[in-house]
Amino acid sequence: MSWFEKLVPSKISTIQREKTIPEGVWVKCDSCSAQLYRNELERNLRVCPKCDHHMYISARKRLESFLDQGPQHEIGSNISATDPLKFRDDKKYTDRISSSIKSSGEKEALITFSGAIKGIKVVASAFEFSFMAGSMGSAVGERFVRGVEYAIDKKIPYICFSSSGGARMQESLFSLFQMTKTSNALARLAKAKMPYISIMTYPTTGGVSASLAMLGDINIAEPRAMIGFAGPRVIEQTVRQTLPEGFQSAEFLLEKGAIDLIVNRNQMRDKVSSILSILLKNKLT
């Protein structure tokens, strides 16, 4: 098991492994075990049509389905990680990066596009969870900031889909400071009075939830997404009791007042574009 598989609940590791199953026609739902026709599942953005379970979807597919088909361009794709601390555990950090690049097909754990949703120009980012558990290091922080700066510059809204285990340990304090860096960029976006929509997906924890993810003008979550500061295992060890069912779920956060709404992946485009069109009333031509 790699270090990030140990970080997250076993449910996610299952999703990871599922990717390596040879291309079959049928896929089993992680939640209700229903046998699903692969093409239909993909068409449904990897949401189980039987039980509404939101399965892992790659960052690129997510943005592809979220943005209009029209002109798009990727921002910050030339920014990648270094190894400032020469970090190694059983493996070198640089080796972990290389193998993540190979397995995820991405160069870092965050990708950003400028494009539009239903004609409204936006910048949208998404965390790639299969890249070192979507962890935030210097390159992720810089890519995020470039996206926000582009939005400020063009006076358009910024949207981010989070899916992350938190700050990337292998860059230690460099990673921690990305929390400041991303929050500072969002404060500048706020000063420009441009909307920031934060969409939290399974899972959003640690340094990412304690910075950019919780700072949305509108905080949205996918159904049953696990969202929290500390991981459930750490909390259980601290308080020495079993956590109640549904603790740190999107529904729990809605009840506690941390998020504005829960939106099904298939309705995300409609909802977000509708919200933006109202927020931007004076700025639409």
Partner 1 sequence: MSLNFLDFEQPIAELEAKIEELKYLKDDSGVNISQEISRLKKECDTLTKKIFSRLSPWQITQLARHPLRPYCLDYLDRIFDDFEELHGDRMYRDDPALIGGIGRLDGIEVMILGHQKGRDTKDRVYRNYGMPKPEGYRKALRIMKLAEKFNLPIITLIDTPGAYPGIGAEERGQSEAIARNLFEMSQLEVPIISLIIGEGGSGGALAIGVADKLLMLKYSIYSVISPEGCASILWKDATQAPRAAEALCISSDKLYQLGLVDGVLEEPLGGAHRAGEDFFKGIQRELKRNLSELQNTTVKNLLSNRHKKIENFGSYIEN
Residue 228 found at the interface with partner 1 (CB under 8 A): yes
Residue type, 118: K
Question: 116 vs 122, 195, 265, CA distance in Å?
Answer: 5, 14, 17
Residue 142 found at the interface with partner 1 (CB under 8 A): yes
Beta bridge partners of 136: 167
The half-sphere exposure of 137 on its side-chain side, counting CA atoms within 13 A, is 24
Residue 277 found at the interface with partner 1 (CB under 8 A): no
Q: How far is the CB of 9 from partner 1 (least distance, A)?
A: 14
Residues 97/81, Cβ–Cβ less than 8 Å: yes
Residue 213 found at the interface with partner 1 (CB under 8 A): yes
Binding region for partner 1 (CB under 8 A) out of 14-22, 59-67, 136-144, 260-268? 136-144
Q: Tell me which residues in 172-211 interact with partner 1 (CB under 8 A).
A: 172-181, 183-184, 186-188, 190-191, 206-207, 209-211
Supply 11's token pair.
């449910």
Residue 7 found at the interface with partner 1 (CB under 8 A): yes
Question: C-alpha dihedral over 213, 215, 216, 217, to 10 degrees?
Answer: 170
Beta bridge partners of 261: 220
- Residue bearing tokens 């361009």: 73
Residue 37 found at the interface with partner 1 (CB under 8 A): no
Site residues, partner 1 (CB under 8 A): 3, 6-7, 78-82, 84-85, 87-90, 137-139, 141-142, 145, 167-169, 171-181, 183-184, 186-188, 190-191, 206-207, 209-215, 227-230, 234-235, 238-239, 243, 247-248, 256-258
